Structure 1
Amino acid sequence: MKFNKYIVATVLSSLGFVKANYFEGIQRDEFFEKIELNMPTIRINLSDEAYNNFKLTFQCLYDTHPSYESFNEDCYKAPWVNYNEIMNSLVQNGVIDNTKLTFEQQNQLTNPELNYDDFSSIISVASSLSLPTIFSQRQSYVFIPSYEEKKASIDFILNGEITTKEKVKFSVGGKYTQVFEKPQFNIQIKNGDLFGKKNLRLRSEVIDPSFLRSKIGCDLTDILDLPSVEASYTKVLINNDDMGLYLVRDTFKSDWIETNFGEVNTTSLYECDAEYGSSFYFNCINEDSKEADAQYTNFIQSLETAQSEEELSQFFDVDLYIKWQAYKYLTGSWDHVTTQHNQYLYNNKGKWINLLYDFDSDFGAYKTPNPAQTFSEFSNEMELPLYQLLGLNENNQKLIDAIKEIVMTAFNPVKLFPRIDELMDYLQPYILEDRTPENDSVSRPGHLLRPAYKIENGFTMQDYLNNAGFHNYYLRKYYTSVDYDLDEIYGVKRWIIEKFRFVCTQYQIDCSFASEYLEGGNFQLPSTESTDVILEEHQKGCKQSGFPCCLDLNGGIISVDGAGEWNIEGSIWCLYDRPVGGQQQQQQQDNSIDNNNMMPSMAVSSAIAECWAQEQGFPCCREATEVLYSENGNNWSMENGEWCGIINSPQGLSNPGVPPVRIPDDIPMPNHGYNRHRDTNN
C-alpha cells in the first residue's frame, strides 16, 4: 500500500540544497517510474474500418454543424445512422409529403431495413428538408455518438522495446475539452495490465500554454503524500498517424485502489460531480453501480448530523481534507470545489477520504487569479457547511500548519524552479514538434478540424517558453464585436514566487531557506509590463458570438447574457439576431443548465432585469430562498451545489408549474459572464 507509506526524504534534500532526483525517497508506480524523463510512444492499433470511423466522426461533427451544413454522403451512410428511426420522425413531423411518393416508396416508409439509397430517394422527391438539413446538428434526427472502439490494441514503445496489449477499449475522453482541435483519449486494458496500469488517460493539455500544470500538480501530490493520480508524458500514434505529445496519467479505478490501499475489487469508490446531486457536502455516485448507494447516503447523513470536528473525524479523514484545502489555496485551484467535480471519495475501512485530480487549471490559470489573497479571500467555499464546521479560516491552526508544511517541503521556488527547468529542457524538442506549424494549428500533429475557433488551439513554442516562466497571458474572448470575456493565465514561475512571497509574510513562515527569492533578495522578478501577453479570439457566427442564429424566431429563451437571448435547436446553442426583449414571452420558462460553465441561466420574465447576480457571473436562484451569505445588501443561496443570487422580487425566478429543463452535458455551451469587459476602442 503506497499511501501513507512514502519514505520521507531528508529536509535538506526536500528543500533542494543538494542536487538530487526530484522524487528521491518517494515510492512511485512502476509505469511512471519507467517513463520519468524518458519519452515513450503509445501506438493505438485500430482496424481500417475502426480508424475510418474515428476520422469520420470528427469530419461529420464539422460538416453537420449549423455553421456549415456541408453535403457529405459519408456522414449520411455512417454506422451510427438508423434510417428507419429518422424516417419515422420525419413522417411524424410532417416533413414527408406522401402524395409525391410512388406506391413502392410509400411501403419503404415503414421498412425496418430501409437503406440509404431508398432513404435518399424518398427525401429527394417528398421531403421539405434537404439531406444536409436533416443531418444537421440543429435538428434532432441524427445523433453522432462519442467515438469508442472495444477491439483495439496498443503497443507501448520504450527504449526500443515494444510491449503489446490486446483487448483494449479506446475512446475519446473529456467533456469541455472536446470542443478543441486536439482530442483527449481513454485507454482501458481488458486483459492484464501495462506495468501495473489497466486504465490510462491521454490528455492533450491544450488549454495550458506551459504544458506543465498537470504534471507539476501530480508531482506535488506525490511529494506531499496526497492521494492522487500520477502523470508523465508520451508521444501518441493512432496506427501510423502521429497524434503528437500527450500527458499520460492514471485514473481512479478499482486497480488504483488496489495499488494504493490494497483492497481488491473495491465497491467503495465514488465519482463526484455537481450533476449527481444538490448536497452542500459532496455529490457523488458509486463508480461501479453509477448510483448513490446506501453506503454513500449514510455517509452524507452522517456529515449532515455531525456537530464537531471530533465527531466528524470518526468517519471522515479531516486532516487530509484540510491538507487538500491548503494545497488548493497555494496552487490557486478554483476547479476542485468540494460540492463539484474533479474528485472522488473512497471509504477506506470505515473512514472516508477525498481524492483530487486534474490540475491543468491550477497555478493561476483562468478566471481572475490573484496570488496576494488570504485563504478566506481566495476560497469560494467559506459558507459551505464543512468549512463552517471545521472553522476553515485564518484562525484554524491545522490549516495554517498545513500551509506551512507544504511551503517548507514542496511549494517554494527552491524546490520547484529547478524542477520546472528540468521539465522544460526535457520537453522542448517535443513541444516544438507538437506546435508546428505555428500559424496553422489544424495542420499540427493530432489536430482535427472543429467547428468553433478556440484561441488555445494555437498556443506556440514561444507561448510555452513564456508561460512556463514569468509571462502572464490575457485571453480576450470576444462574444460580440466589442464585448469579451477575459481569462488570465499566470506564468507558472511567477505564480509560485508571488504566492510564496505572500504566504511567507501573511502566515509568518520562516522562509529564510529561500531568502534569495524573497522581497529584497537577489532574485529579480521581471516586471509585468515587460512580460504581459494579450491574445484575442474573434468569432464568426450570429452577432460574432461563434454560434449560429436561431431559425425559429418564436422559439423559447433559455438564457440571456451580454450577447443576447439564447436557445437550443437540436443539440446546438443558437442566438437570436435581435435586441434583448425583442419578443414578448407568452409563458414564463424555468430552465436549468450546468453552472460549472458559469453561463448565466434564468427564466425569461420581467424579473430578468432584477437578476443582479448575472453581473457577477452567477445565475439567480430558481427555488432556493435560504440565505447562506450576505454581502453589500445582496443575499446568496445555493442550488445544485452552486452559488445563486436571491433576487428581491417575491416571486423570484422560480415557476413551480413548469418542469426544469436539463441541458445535456455533451452540448458545448456559451461561456459568457464570469469576467466580462467591453472594448472601448472599437
Structure 2
Amino acid sequence: LRADASEATFIRSKLTCDIHNRLGLPSISANYATLYINDEYMGFYILLDVPKLSWAKSVFHGNDNDNLYQCSINGNFLTYDSSAFSCTNENDNVIDNSEWINFLRTLDKAENPSDIEDIFDIDLFLTEMAIEYLIGSFDHFLINGHNYYIYKPQNDKWKLVLYDFDLTFGQDIDLYFLIKIFVDIPEQLQSVNREYYNYSFDEWARHTHLVDILILKDPSRFEKILKDVVSKAFNPTVLYPRIDELKSFIKSYVEKDKTPNEKGNYPGKLNLLANDYTLEQWDANSEFTSIETSLKYRAFGLKYWILQKYRYVCKTYSIQCDNQYIDESFQYPINKNVEMYDYNIQKNNDNEKETTEIKSPDEPSTTTTTTTTTTFIDEPIPTVIDNYQCFAEMIGYSCCSPENKVAYAHDNNGDWGYDFNKQEWCGLTPYIKHDETESCWSEKLGYPCCSDCYVFEVDTDGSWGYNFSKKQWCGVPKHCPL
C-alpha cells in the first residue's frame, strides 16, 4: 500500500505497470485502494504487488524459490563487484549463493550478447531498458542501478523485473541531473540540458558493462525493441485515452482524499507540516502542466512528457508515428495557476552572483520543534573556519542562534533552521570534533575525503561524495550526520 506522495497524479505507477502488461512482460500489478482504520477514513492509496517469492511462483508458474534477488541499493549494475553481496536473496533459508556469483562472473566476462544468451533473458532486459529510457526513469537500472529484482525460474534464464515507479515521466528528474537546487552557483542550472526528453540513449544511460555490450556496442537489437515498445505501448494514441480513463475512475477518490476534515486536516496525514498536492495540481500534472513538487523540484506534465519523448524517438529512430502528435502545431492546455516553468533565477547586480530563489518557511507561531525531510540546499563554496560550531559552517552557512531551535528541514549536513530577521537558513546540528586520520577512510583507497557531507553513492566501502570542481570522487567523513 503506497501513498506515492512524491508525485501528484496517482497515475505514474499504474501507467508504468499498464505499459508492462500491454507488452506481456512479467511485471507487478497496480490497483487503487481506500484505507479505513477503525472506521476512520485514512486516504486514497495505490496497491502494488511486490516481487516476492509468492509473486514469482504465481507469475512464472514454478516452485524454484532459491534464486530471487532484490537489488535495492544504489550502484547495483549486475557486476560481481557491485552486486554480489549488495543484492539480497528473498529466501532467507538459502545459504549457498554460488549460482548467483557464477552468474555475475559470467556477465563480467561477457564481451558480446552471445556469451550470455543462454543464461540471461537479453530481450527482456533490453525491453526494460527501453521502457526506462522512454518513461524517463532515473531510479532503476540505467542510472541509479537499483529498484529491480533478478529471478531465475527453474530450467530457465535469469530475468530482470523492475519495481517502484513513482519517479517516472519527468517526476523530480532534476533531483538526479542537478543534484540540488543551486543557491550560490545558478550558472550550473544553465549548463545542464533540462529538456530531458530530448536526451539520446547514450546521453541518458550510464555506460555500465551490460549497457556497453548489449546496447552501445551494437544498438540494432535494442533499437528494434525500442521501436516495438513505442508502436505498441508508448505513444499518445494508446496512453492519452488510458490516462483519461484513469483520471475519470479515480477523480472522486482523489477529491475525497484532498478534502480536509472538521479540524482542517487531510485524511491519513499524520505529519501535519508535510506538503500535499492540491486537486488543481493533480488535474494539471496529469495533463500537460509542469508543477513544483513536494521536494521543490519540477514534475513534467504526464501527457507532456509522453508527447515530447514520443516526438524525439520518432525522429531519432525514424519510426512511422502519428502525424497528429508529431506536428508542432498540436495544441494542448497549460494551467498557469499551478505551472512551474523554471527555477526563479534572479540577478542582483554586476558585482553579485545570480541566486536561485528558494521559498522561505512561514514564520512559526509556536516554538515546537518539528523536523521535516526535504532537499533544497546545494553546496555553496566552503568557508574556512578554524573551529566549526555546527555542520552548516562547513559549507558556508551560519549556525542558528541559541533561541532559534525550530528545524524546518534536514539533509546530510543535519537539521536546518531559518533566521526570519536575516531571511536566511542556518544550521542546528552541532559540529562534532573528530580524528581526521580515523575519519578519512577513503585515503587508503586512493581518494581524498570530502569537505562536506553530501552523499551520492553508497557501496561496501562507505558513503561517497563528489567534488564537481575537481571532477573527483571523495569519501564522505564518518563523522557526518548521515
After TM superposition, is the score higher than 0.5?
yes
SS in 1 for 2:16: helix
Q: How does 1:268-667 map to 2 (within 5 A)?
A: 268-274=67-73, 279-280=81-82, 283-289=86-92, 293-337=97-141, 340-348=145-153, 349-368=155-174, 370-379=196-205, 381-382=206-207, 384-392=208-216, 396-437=219-260, 443-449=265-271, 453-455=273-275, 458-475=276-293, 486-511=296-321, 514-520=322-328, 523-526=330-333, 532-533=339-340, 538-539=360-361, 561=395, 573-574=414-415, 587-588=436-437, 589-590=439-440, 603=449, 608=451, 618=456, 644=466, 653=474
Q: What does the per-residue CA deviation read over 1:358-386, in whole Å, with 9 as the maximum and x for residues that have no partner?
A: 1111111003262111111222x12x111
- Classify the secondary structure of the residue corresponding to 1:322: helix
Conserved in 1, the CA contact under 8 Å of 2:286 and 2:303? yes
What SS class does the counterpart of residue 268 from structure 2 fall into?
coil
| Residues 529/386 of structure 1: CA separation in 2 closer, same or farther (3 Å cut) | same
* Match among 49, 53, 58 for residue 254 of structure 1: 53
Q: How does 1:136-285 map to 2 (within 5 A)?
A: 202-264=1-63, 266-274=65-73, 279-280=81-82, 283-285=86-88
CA 1:462/1:352 → structure 2, altered by over 3 Å: closer, same or farther? same
1:236 aligned counterpart, secondary structure: strand
Give 1:254's aligned amino acid: L
Normalized against structure 2, the TM-score is what?
A: 0.70
CA distance in 2, matches of 1:537, 1:237: 35
Output the CA distance in 1 between the equivalents of 2:149 and 2:134. 21
> 2-side partners of 1:209 and 1:643: how far apart?
30
Q: Report the alpha carbon displacement of residue 253 of structure 1 after superposing the two structures with TM.
A: 1.5
- Could you say if the C-alpha distance between residues 555 and 400 of structure 1 is closer, same or farther in structure 2, counting changes exceeding 3 Å? same
Pairwise CA RMSD: 4.5
**1:618-641 CA distance string (max 9 Å, x none):** 479998xxxxxxxxxxxxxxx88x
Partners of 1:224 and 1:406 within 8 A in 2: yes
**Shift of the alpha carbon at 1:247?**
0.8
* Matched position secondary structure for 2:88: strand
Tell me if the contact between 2:285 and 2:300 (Cα under 8 Å) persists in the aligned partners. Answer: yes
Cα distance in 2 between the residues matched to 1:235 and 1:525: 32
Supply the AA of the counterpart residue of 1:284: C
Greater share of strand:
1
Relative to structure 1, the CA distance from residue 578 to residue 371 in structure 2 (aligned partners, 3 Å threshold; closer, same or farther) is: closer
SS in 2 for 1:203: coil
Cα distance in structure 2, aligned partners of 1:430 and 1:422? 14
Q: Following TM superposition, by how much is the alpha carbon of 1:326 offset from its aligned partner in structure 2, in angstroms?
A: 0.6
Write the distance in 2 (CA, Å) between the matches of 1:558 and 1:620: 22
- Does the 8 A contact of 2:71 with 2:87 survive in 1? yes
Larger displacement relative to structure 2 (221-230 or 266-275): 266-275
Matched position secondary structure for 2:69: strand
* CA–CA distance in structure 1, aligned partners of residues 398 and 127 of structure 2: 43
- Unaligned 5+ segments in structure 1 are 1-201, 478-485, 548-552, 593-600, 624-638, 664-668, 670-682
Aligned in 2, Cα 1:363/1:271: closer, same or farther, shift over 3 Å?
A: same
Please report how far the alpha carbon of residue 275 of structure 1 lies from its aligned counterpart in structure 2 after TM superposition.
Answer: 6.6
Rg larger in structure: 1
Kindly indicate whether the alpha-carbon contact (under 8 Å) linking 2:281 and 2:338 is maintained by their aligned counterparts in 1: no
Residues in 1 aligned to 2:389 and 2:124: alpha-carbon distance in whole angstroms: 50
Deviations 1:122-149 (A, max 9, x none): xxxxxxxxxxxxxxxxxxxxxxxxxxxx
Question: Residues 84-103 of structure 1 correspond to what in structure 2 (within 5 A)?
Answer: none
3-state SS of the aligned residue for 2:198? coil
CA deviations on 1:484-528 (whole Å, 9 max, x unpaired) are: xx51101101111111111111111000xx22122246x313469
Partner secondary structure for residue 351 of structure 1: coil
Distance in 2, Cα, partners of 1:385 & 1:233:
38
Question: Contact 2:197/2:308 (CA < 8 Å) preserved in 1?
Answer: yes
Where do 5+ consecutive residues of structure 2 fail to align? 175-193, 344-357, 374-386, 401-409, 418-425
* 8 Å contact kept, 2:67–2:152: yes
Aligned to 1:49: none
| Residue 587 of structure 1, CA deviation | 2.4
SS in 2 for 1:426: helix
User: Aligned to 1:315, what secondary structure does the other structure show?
Assistant: coil
Q: Contact 2:391–2:413 at 8 Å: present in 1 too? A: no
| Residues 525 and 648 of structure 1, relative CA distance in 2, 3 Å threshold | closer
**Contact 1:471-1:528 within 8 A present in 2 as well:** yes
The alpha carbon displacement at 1:462 in A equals 0.9
Query: Is the Cα–Cα contact under 8 Å of residues 227 and 355 in structure 1 kept in the other structure?
Result: yes
State the Cα deviation string for residues 253-281 of structure 1 (Å, max 9, x = none). Answer: 12211211111261211111227978346
- Contact 2:33/2:45, CA 8 A, preserved across alignment: yes
| Alpha-carbon offset, residue 446 of structure 1 | 1.3
Relative to structure 1, the CA distance from residue 467 to residue 237 in structure 2 (aligned partners, 3 Å threshold; closer, same or farther) is: same
Q: Distance in 2 between matches of 1:397 and 1:302?
A: 23
Distance apart, 1:243 and its partner CA: 1.2
Amino acid in structure 2 at the alignment position of 1:342? N
Shift of 1:445: 1.5
Whether the 8 Å contact between 2:311 and 2:326 is mirrored in structure 1 is yes
Structure 1 distance, partners of 2:285, 2:261, is 16
- CA deviation vs aligned residue, 1:17-70 (integer Å, no higher than 9, x gap): xxxxxxxxxxxxxxxxxxxxxxxxxxxxxxxxxxxxxxxxxxxxxxxxxxxxxx
Letter in 1 for 2:300: Y
For residues 119-134 of structure 1, what are the structure 2 equivalents within 5 Å? none
- Look up the equivalent residue of 1:371 and give its one-letter code: Y
- Report how far residue 314 of structure 1 moved: 2.1
Given that 1:342 and 1:358 are in contact with CA atoms closer than 8 Å, whether structure 2 keeps it comes out as: yes
Aligned residues: 400
Q: Give the drift of 1:300.
A: 1.4
CA drift of 1:572 comes to 11
Residues 208 and 621 (structure 1), Cα distance of their counterparts in 2 relative to 1, 3 Å cut: closer
Letter in structure 2 aligned against 1:449: N
